[in-house]
Structure 1
């Protein structure tokens, strides 16, 4: 078999490292506990496992695509390099002042996240650009040289450079980079005009600092990984998934590691979009629940919703506004501290609270028998009958139900006068309601009604909770794809090579300049295409164009998509018409008598992926064979039921299962509650619907 038809996808999560090997059309996968001290060890172990399953040598792998939480975790845990910021005199405290908004209006003891860099690590230079990019105060080289000597003496490993209005004119940032390269050749440098060339200095400075902060760590890890893979025989190109849903080469990833933040969840959204295309679904709620977090994303017309800014390290239970903003292209999703390892406790009001703290893989939930004593979501799932203690992760990880019962009773039950089963029910309902509420809010913020949506559930824990989530959200249909337990890693193998270029060029519609717009789009398209060509020099490259617009005086913009024809022949009336149509969709009406303006321009270059064949719906062909029964607690009924157990590997197209039922496989377990029925589709997806929809 040709080497380029053998590809490996690897996703490092907070609890498990998922590894998927595709050999032609055949797929082999495994889950390995994440090794925090040396993440590459879990990758190598997983690679050897799947290669053994497939009967191929590691040297046969033609391409490796990798996504990781390492960048995110380094920011959350503050484990980055010794970093300095160089900024314009008078703007030293921008990252501490933030936007001066209050995300909890009535909290008198509001706790804001500490900036990544303390004040004594923030330095200034005397210079000034105006918003049009004209020099108001020139930068003197001698001042930069003196500052470089000071930074060198302090022993900084990485330096972020963020000057006022450098997104319009980067001349002063480039001068600083030249001096630093000459005076401090071993120190890494990140320029805001390259990392995030957009208006709003707080978001731009913070993004550049985050890039500089994790750059030495990620550069070292990626170099180490490439070397270890080559030593094990896998001496092939290694690519990285970025947060916008595409793939970049390892060199670009090492230079701009901030773009790797949220790379794993982005792979999951790409996986869900691929499933949506195969089933002809235009409205999909992607639900990805792993060991540490759950991610929810809206996918319309087989395309995940995207954004320009997202937050990491939120200090208030994942509350919007309480984290560090990162201004890069990203798939827009809401993240909740609700995974299989999320820990539960009783608060001062006597309420069960779940997450955001997670047991991870070390020590893991109490049932892992690795020293964990507090109850996690997985402990509740085990006690409620959702998991088989002898067949978790294909039998590779034994579970200890007695340890789960003890943890639930000691930490929840004794305080609330509940037995272990009732405490597990309470824990499960709280975590499911947290996720359902997050999905409702996300839908409302985007003007969507979830009752029209189909859920696609993946990740190791999602199929355990998806049907209950559908009951709470009023969603009639849920698909659990084949390989759901390693969905993000599969998504990496479905993603295109892509890179998005952004520019902040302010332009009012009344002063629209078609020639300037054409030149701007051409420059951005060349930049984005050059990054994609570095990954695949022979592929056909397409591009998407967007502008971000608002009414004058508004504080934020909305994205407006352009067709290739509209981008090639820019016209003020067309831009305004498109903006007003999108504005009405979001807010119900346009604003009369107020001028519109453009603040940010975007070009995303990408390669074409293989066309997806549309599947015909399966025709029911009879009940699936049962391998026994299991006691299962149904939270909607509030009591234990006897559930049919079905092995997923024994299912054939069209076979049906009525709930209550449990479908087992190596990487996850699918729960079908009493209210639902399931039919196996031709691609292996389990199609779970309300009994009325399934039989009516």
Structure 2
């Protein structure tokens, strides 16, 4: 009987992770990312994982892929030469932004430059009102003039964003038809398709970002499909989208902006699965790879989501300093803190870490690939947290001497410190940066971080998770099996899903029930169509969300509506749902103001699988010992005599007392002196602060 395997592939800034699942088994691989040809690293990783499993390439029945291509293209400004067409009078919306001065006293405040220069922004006469009616017909002579200018300008892509197109996209469609006739080979993105939501600044940014990356993403995905077929993989390929589900390659090519943060979204799905299995109601997902660290809140087994996302911030942790995009996304905070993050001294002689990364080319100094700047990986190697002979399953031999040279030459001179002192400074700075991000994220969401359990995964997170818990006051964390390739495994657990949104501003007291029901029905039909095209006729779950606020407020909150469609027009039900969410987030309600609804959203997803519950085992007895191993314990500020235990040698119920290092091929887990670890029945490693379970 032919084996039908499924493969999840996550391309990161340093490593490309592959998780292969087949009947009766699982295998994984980690290979360095190939910047010039990302698809080559995918093929190399799949081939390596398939060889481990003894599976032929033609036995792979499904490939699921997540990529940072879109995010990186926006941050590094490596997109298409493009134009933007908008309503007359709104040419400079993307430059004027929203008047939010996020750094009030900075006289030299730096804002992200628009992706489209002013000379490449065109306007046409015509006007749609906020209610969708036509105030001024589209001027077809203007339309033809702009289409001719686009043809002569040599553009690769065009974004069209007209005022109030979220209520009526007819003018945008006419403009697109004219462009199709004038220059049929150009990529065209419509805001009424990509982001049909109110607020023109966010909507214009989103459609511009979509058009900016569309030619590059289309070229890459078509190349990937071709290369996989030539390698013998005839299976369908699906993409992980930023909202935590799967879409087809065709949808990804049409709306590549939905691929923002697709890799981290897979990690959130991975963590949420174990949160449900272990009945952990409040989870802080901690994903640290080679380039970035991602932190996400998961409550009641569901990652927190949002309909907006900010990319390419010019100020770390400063909301409003980036490019806001309106697209469904798993809400998380992401910072430049990974194994490849580069450490340097500032003008005052202080150690700073990131956001620059050595990536995979050349990589950290200890990789012996030409890197000369000290990184977090070099520091961890110096502190005994990594085994130089068994990194990445022994496929990359690390040089302690080169790590020491990089730390000594770049960080130790003025301070007359040792390379070990510098290594401690590097790891402590990156740990504090990540802890600050976690604190800020939980506080912004009205949560107390100490009440959460951490789920740590990615190649770097298990190395730093215990220290994070010490800094944040968290008593327990879980390292799931396959943590080193967690996001890739998350792809295999993700549902087929599509979220359709629509701007429809109404006051709750005056809500048009017939219009709301018709809008929700249309959104559900749209989402069902996308899911059906991917997965066929399957069991699905439908989730409806209203974005609501008090009159006078600038922003709304998402309100899940767990009620039948017929009850959604009951104003009392809607008010009660809004007030419950508002009180949970802010602690109190506001008396007096009217309630408003700005946007509606419908998520259609394949039904979630049943997850077997796992009975928690505590580290009481059944302690096992390993070989002696020294490493640096940051809380104690000294090297400690610990032990090294192979994770594959641990059975359910086996416990390990810290200080210890628990090793596996893709990562290592550092158990500091304050913690103990116990193997769970599902292969998860539960790490608990000593004495906290007594």
Interval containing the TM-score (normalised by the shorter chain): over 0.9
Alignment map for 1:108-187 (pairs within 5 Å): 108-187=107-186
SS at match of 1:62: strand
Instruction: Give the corresponding residue for 1:198.
Output: 197
Q: Distance in 1 between matches of 2:451 and 2:323?
A: 33
1:224-256, Cα deviation, whole Å (9 max, x unpaired)? 100110110001100000000000011001100
Deviation at 1:567, TM superposition (A): 5.9
Q: After the TM superposition, which parts of structure 1 deviate over 6 Å for at least 4 consecutive aligned residues?
A: none
Q: Distance in 1 between matches of 2:195 and 2:267?
A: 24
Q: Distance in 1 between matches of 2:141 and 2:526?
A: 32
SS at match of 1:160: strand
Q: Distance in 2 between matches of 1:618 and 1:647?
A: 19
Are the counterparts in 2 of residues 339 and 377 from structure 1 also a CA contact under 8 Å?
A: yes
Instruction: Give the corresponding residue for 1:316.
Output: 315
1:621-647, Cα deviation, whole Å (9 max, x unpaired)? 855544411111101001111110001
Q: Distance in 2 between matches of 1:129 and 1:530?
A: 28
Are the counterparts in 2 of residues 83 and 117 from structure 1 also a CA contact under 8 Å?
A: yes
Q: Distance in 2 between matches of 1:318 and 1:449?
A: 18
Instruction: Give the corresponding residue for 1:395.
Output: 394
Deviation at 1:318, TM superposition (A): 4.8
Q: Distance in 1 between matches of 2:316 and 2:415?
A: 23
Deviation at 1:565, TM superposition (A): 2.0
SS at match of 2:585: helix
Instruction: Give the corresponding residue for 2:306.
Output: 307
Q: Distance in 2 between matches of 1:362 and 1:322?
A: 29
Instruction: Give the corresponding residue for 2:361.
Output: 362
Instruction: Give the corresponding residue for 2:332.
Output: 333
Alignment map for 1:405-444 (pairs within 5 Å): 405-444=404-443
Q: Distance in 2 between matches of 1:621 and 1:52?
A: 39
Are the counterparts in 1 of residues 619 and 676 from structure 2 also a CA contact under 8 Å?
A: no
SS at match of 2:412: helix
Are the counterparts in 2 of residues 318 and 335 from structure 1 also a CA contact under 8 Å?
A: no
Q: Distance in 2 between matches of 1:25 and 1:693?
A: 37
Instruction: Give the corresponding residue for 1:598.
Output: 597
Instruction: Give the corresponding residue for 2:545.
Output: 546
Q: Do structure 1's residue 225 and structure 2's residue 228 form an aligned pair? A: no
Q: Distance in 2 between matches of 1:459 and 1:116?
A: 32
Instruction: Give the corresponding residue for 2:348.
Output: 349
Q: Do structure 1's residue 463 and structure 2's residue 481 form an aligned pair? A: no
Instruction: Give the corresponding residue for 1:70.
Output: 69
Alignment map for 1:200-599 (pairs within 5 Å): 200-565=199-564, 568-599=567-598
Residue range with higher mean Cα deviation, 202-211 or 579-588: 579-588
Are the counterparts in 2 of residues 626 and 647 from structure 1 also a CA contact under 8 Å?
A: no
Deviation at 1:496, TM superposition (A): 0.2
Are the counterparts in 1 of residues 191 and 204 from structure 2 also a CA contact under 8 Å?
A: yes
Deviation at 1:569, TM superposition (A): 4.1
Are the counterparts in 2 of residues 10 and 43 from structure 1 also a CA contact under 8 Å?
A: yes
Deviation at 1:44, TM superposition (A): 0.4
Instruction: Give the corresponding residue for 1:28.
Output: 27
1:662-694, Cα deviation, whole Å (9 max, x unpaired)? 011110010000000000001111100001125
1:313-335, Cα deviation, whole Å (9 max, x unpaired)? 11223532211111100000001
**Using a 3 Å threshold, how does the CA distance of structure 1 residues 25 and 268 change in structure 2: closer, same or farther?**
farther
Are the counterparts in 1 of residues 568 and 574 from structure 2 also a CA contact under 8 Å?
A: no
Q: Distance in 1 between matches of 2:304 and 2:27?
A: 30
Q: Distance in 2 between matches of 1:626 and 1:598?
A: 59
Which sections of structure 2, spanning at least 5 residues, go unmatched? none
SS at match of 2:413: helix
1:348-376, Cα deviation, whole Å (9 max, x unpaired)? 23221111111100011111111111111
Q: Distance in 2 between matches of 1:78 and 1:215?
A: 13
Are the counterparts in 2 of residues 203 and 327 from structure 1 also a CA contact under 8 Å?
A: yes
Residue range with higher mean Cα deviation, 74-83 or 561-570: 561-570
Q: Distance in 2 between matches of 1:512 and 1:578?
A: 16
Q: Distance in 2 between matches of 1:79 and 1:567?
A: 47
User: What is the TM-score with the length of structure 1 in the denominator?
Assistant: 0.98
Are the counterparts in 1 of residues 517 and 565 from structure 2 also a CA contact under 8 Å?
A: no
Are the counterparts in 1 of residues 619 and 677 from structure 2 also a CA contact under 8 Å?
A: no
Are the counterparts in 1 of residues 625 and 656 from structure 2 also a CA contact under 8 Å?
A: no
Which sections of structure 1, spanning at least 5 residues, go unmatched? none
Residue range with higher mean Cα deviation, 346-355 or 369-378: 346-355
Q: Distance in 2 between matches of 1:200 and 1:517?
A: 20
Instruction: Give the corresponding residue for 1:649.
Output: 648
SS at match of 2:45: helix
Residue range with higher mean Cα deviation, 292-301 or 316-325: 316-325
Deviation at 1:566, TM superposition (A): 5.8
Deviation at 1:103, TM superposition (A): 1.5
Residue range with higher mean Cα deviation, 313-322 or 683-692: 313-322
Are the counterparts in 2 of residues 317 and 337 from structure 1 also a CA contact under 8 Å?
A: no
Q: Do structure 1's residue 613 and structure 2's residue 628 form an aligned pair? A: no
**Using a 3 Å threshold, how does the CA distance of structure 1 residues 210 and 227 change in structure 2: closer, same or farther?**
same
Q: Distance in 2 between matches of 1:95 and 1:176?
A: 20
Deviation at 1:620, TM superposition (A): 5.3
Deviation at 1:128, TM superposition (A): 1.1
How many equivalent residue pairs?
Answer: 694
SS at match of 1:382: helix
Residue range with higher mean Cα deviation, 615-624 or 297-306: 615-624
